[in-house]
């Protein structure tokens, strides 16, 4: 387990980028943290690390956005899902066990279907406004 403190959104982006550079086919990154914690900021960094050229936006309303980089990037935001059955309807297995990298915002809401060996990234606010404590571990 690793704990890192970032002092602004750029540092969170850079941490995401650092990890994105090292991701391999089949990797699943699970992001946990409140609204505004920095999950999307971190995801944008992952995209940069994966050499995605398109601008990454939050897929809150679409549940999933797909990008093309060094590897395909499947960016989920499951905040608005009512249950994991909706993930089945989306055909999530094609993405989770596919040819790319998966990033899931609010992954704790669907933890039943997250495979072992996923990379869990938990982002918490601290007492200082633009500071975040980021914990990274493999399940």
Q: Which residues in this chain contact Mg ion in the complex, by CB under 5 A?
A: 39-40, 58, 105
Residue 6 touches which of Mg ion, ligand ADP, none (CB < 5 to 8 A by kind)? ligand ADP
Are 14 and 4 within 8 A, CB to CB? no
Q: What is the DSSP letter of 128?
A: S
Residue 65 touches which of ligand ADP, Mg ion, none (CB < 5 to 8 A by kind)? none
**36 interacts with ligand ADP by CB under 6 A:** yes
Site string for ligand ADP, 104-133 (x = CB under 6 A): -x------------------------xxx-
- Exactly one of 12, 75, 104, 121 binds ligand ADP (CB under 6 A); which one? 12
Residue 73, token pair as written in the block: 């990037």
Q: C-beta of 97: minimal distance to ligand ADP in Å? A: 25
- Exactly one of 33, 45, 59, 69 binds ligand ADP (CB under 6 A); which one? 33
CA 136 to chain centre: 12
Q: C-beta of 46: minimal distance to Mg ion in Å? A: 13
Residue 110, token pair as written in the block: 């669907």
**8 interacts with ligand ADP by CB under 6 A:** yes
Are 56 and 45 within 8 A, CB to CB? no
Strand partners, 13: none
Q: Can you spell out the DSSP letters for 24-50?
A: -TT-EEEEE--TTSSHHHHHHHHHHHT
């Amino acid at each position: 387990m690793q704990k890192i403190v970032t002092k602004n959104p750029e540092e969170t982006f850079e941490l995401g980028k650092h990890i994105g550079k090292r991701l391999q086919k089949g990797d699943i990154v699970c992001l946990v943290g409140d609204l505004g914690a920095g999950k999307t900021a971190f995801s944008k960094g992952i995209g940069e690390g994966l050499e995605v050229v398109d601008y990454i936006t939050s897929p809150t309303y679409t549940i999933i956005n797909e990008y093309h980089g060094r590897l395909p990037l499947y960016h989920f935001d499951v905040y608005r899902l009512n249950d994991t059955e909706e993930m089945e309807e989306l055909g999530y297995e094609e993405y989770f066990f596919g040819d790319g990298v998966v990033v899931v915002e609010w992954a704790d809401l669907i933890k039943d279907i997250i495979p072992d060996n996923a990379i869990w990234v938990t982002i918490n606010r601290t007492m200082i406004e633009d500071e975040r404590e980021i914990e990274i571990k493999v399940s």
